[in-house]
Amino acid sequence: MARQKKQQRPKAQTPKGFRDCFGTEVAERNRMLSRIAEVYHRYGFDPLESPAVETVESLGKFLPDVDRPNEGVFAWQDDDDATWLALRYDLTAPLARVYAQHRNELPTPYRRYAMGPVWRNEKPGPGRFRQFYQCDADTVGSSSPAADAEICAMLADTLESVGVPRGEYIVRINNRKVLNGVMEVAGILDPSEPERFATERGIVLRAVDKLDRLGPQGVRALLGEGRKDESGDFTSGARLSDDQADTVMRFVEAGRQDMAATVTRLRGLTSGSETGTLGVSELETIGESLDLQGYGADRIRIDPSVVRGLAYYTGPVFEAELTFDITDDQGRQRQFGSVAGGGRYDDLVKRFTGQEVPATGISIGVDRLLAALQARGSANRAATGPVLVTVMDRDRLGDYQAMVTELRNAGVRAEMYLGNPKNFGGQLRYADRRDCPLAIIQGSDERKRNCVIVKNLALGKRLAAEITSNEEWKNQPAQQEVARADLVAEVLNSIDAAERMQQADI
């Protein structure tokens, strides 16, 4: 009788381009989302939740990485009706579907914010994942440049709210109409034949959008024959002539600190293009509005190098860049770069309704922003573990659980140790791995005296780095005995003292 082949165990590993997130990181992200939501709410935006899955037809084909399978999305065919479905690649395309479907019940303009994960079937790399969180805010139904200015002001306020000081970020604004005008002047956009040179324009958009990563030489290569990256992969270029490429590069490098000087240069570059001239005027209006609100060039400025990679933008585009230095994995100093982007997309809802519906919005890359704050050392990384009630006697589990219940009822995060209680050192090691601030101990002796020991683990770690002699250890205040009736009060006092100490360190 033939032996059956032993079934192989599955490998315990995350799929390529995905990652697992644990306690502290998830808690930090939730705190950040809460702060962002507070700002969006203060500006008058309402929350919206929509499905993670949309039809491929609804999502459209707007991702920049069009050479990958499924146009950069994770898609599959529904067995019931053969409809192609896909995980959303951002939160804006689903909004267009939602507004088109429910527009008769929604106010105009409709102001919404949304938060959640999105998925892109793109080549993963260092710090680049296929699933990541976004936090969006959009105004649908207003063509006023004031709506674009408001989005930029709100983005600046949001960055400061989550811990990015003024002077360590810049919100940059451009206008797709200006770039279209430049491409018209360069001879790669013909208003009478919109589809002509569409491939070349797409490459130009993606090339300019990578300026911060590739630099002027890398962009110039992509405007020409193409570019080979460090891994040896070759990316085909737009194959523009030298004169055409020079025109685009003059546009990319037209930005000046002074808004008026930038506007003057852009007017010269778009001379002869009605679309380009309109785009420059819109930029000027947005800049003047922000200036009147007190948002100067130190916080928000016009920058022609901003184009954004998504194809659905039709007018002003925005990008938030962090300007402080961090140390990368190779120990090199560099700036973190972009953490948010957005713009105006007046044609997106039109795909569903046949009528133009103006819209503008912003999307914050929550994971990137959180990583930047962590790299800078300004993220809130306070211990989030629970107070641990240790188990000294198996027969008294009910007593220990009663302590946990009292702490929880007082608003304290707490748990009882549920592992093997025989090894007390193992319980403390567990508490250390859980970042528990306190451990509650009651053995038979403490029970007879109707008291408990409150062991301050966080303070113990701090003192361990400072105490050098046995005598100092005897006098150290990292644990104390208190009456059983005073347990909750002592725990609350210890947690409050720890929070004050952390604020003093900051």
pLDDT band at 62 (very low <50, low <70, confident <90, very high): low
Look over the chain and give the mean of its residue pLDDT values, rounded to a whole number: 87
Name the pTM for this structure: 0.80
Once rounded to an integer, what is the mean pLDDT over residues 49-53? 96
Summarised one tens digit per residue, pLDDT across range 428-438 is 999 999 989 99
CB 269 within 8 A of CB 182: yes
Does position 348 have pLDDT exceeding 70, yes or no?
A: yes
CB-based contacts of 57, cutoff 8 Å, min separation 6:
84
pLDDT band at 264 (very low <50, low <70, confident <90, very high): confident
Task: Give dist(CA 161, CA 159) in Å, integer.
Answer: 5
Once rounded to an integer, what is the mean pLDDT over residues 126-135? 87
Residue 177 sits at the vertex; the CA angle it makes with 243 and 203, to the nearest 5 degrees, is 50
pLDDT band at 505 (very low <50, low <70, confident <90, very high): low
Helices and strands per DSSP (H, E), number in the chain: 18, 18
Provide DSSP, 366-420.
Answer: HHHHHHHHHHHT-S-----PPEEE--S-GGGHHHHHHHHHHHHHTT--EEE--S-
Does position 67 have pLDDT exceeding 50, yes or no?
A: no
For position 428, what pLDDT does the model report? 92
CB-based contacts of 446, cutoff 8 Å, min separation 6:
452, 453, 481
Number of Cβ within 10 Å of residue 271's Cβ equals 11
Task: Give dist(CA 323, CA 128) in Å, integer.
Answer: 20
pLDDT band at 410 (very low <50, low <70, confident <90, very high): very high
Give the residue, 465 or 444, on which the prediction is more confident. 444
pLDDT band at 320 (very low <50, low <70, confident <90, very high): very high
For position 68, what pLDDT does the model report? 47
User: Shortest CA distance to 223 belongs to which of 197, 262, 193, 191?
Assistant: 197
Residue 439 sits at the vertex; the CA angle it makes with 436 and 443, to the nearest 5 degrees, is 155
Per CATH, the homologous superfamily of domain 387-505 is: Anticodon-binding domain (3.40.50.800)
CB-based contacts of 479, cutoff 8 Å, min separation 6:
453, 454, 455, 456, 460
Residue 32's identity, in one-letter code, is M
> Tokens representing 397?
């589990």
Give the domain ranges of the chain.
23-376, 387-505
User: Shortest CA distance to 458 belongs to which of 501, 427, 415, 489?
Assistant: 501
Query: Which residues are registered as beta bridge partners of 175?
Result: 316
Once rounded to an integer, what is the mean pLDDT over residues 277-285? 94
Summarised one tens digit per residue, pLDDT across range 359-396 is 999 999 999 899 888 877 766 555 578 999 999 999 99
Q: What is the DSSP letter of 435?
A: T
Give CA separation, 307 vs 227, 313, 331, in Å. Answer: 20, 9, 30
Strand order in the sheet with 438-441: 414-416, 387-389, 438-441, 451-456, 479-483
Does position 195 have pLDDT exceeding 90, yes or no?
A: no
Q: Does domain 23-376 have CATH number 3.30.930.10?
A: yes
- C-alpha dihedral sign at 429, 434, 437, 442: negative
Peptide bond into 145 cis (omega under 30): no
> Tokens representing 416?
């009882």
The values of phi and psi at residue 332, to 5°, are -90, 145
For position 372, what pLDDT does the model report? 86
- Among the ranges given (90-94, 110-114, 206-210, 291-295), the one the predictor scored with the smallest mean pLDDT: 206-210
For position 71, what pLDDT does the model report? 64
Give CA separation, 24 vs 28, 31, 278, 498, in Å. Answer: 6, 11, 48, 17
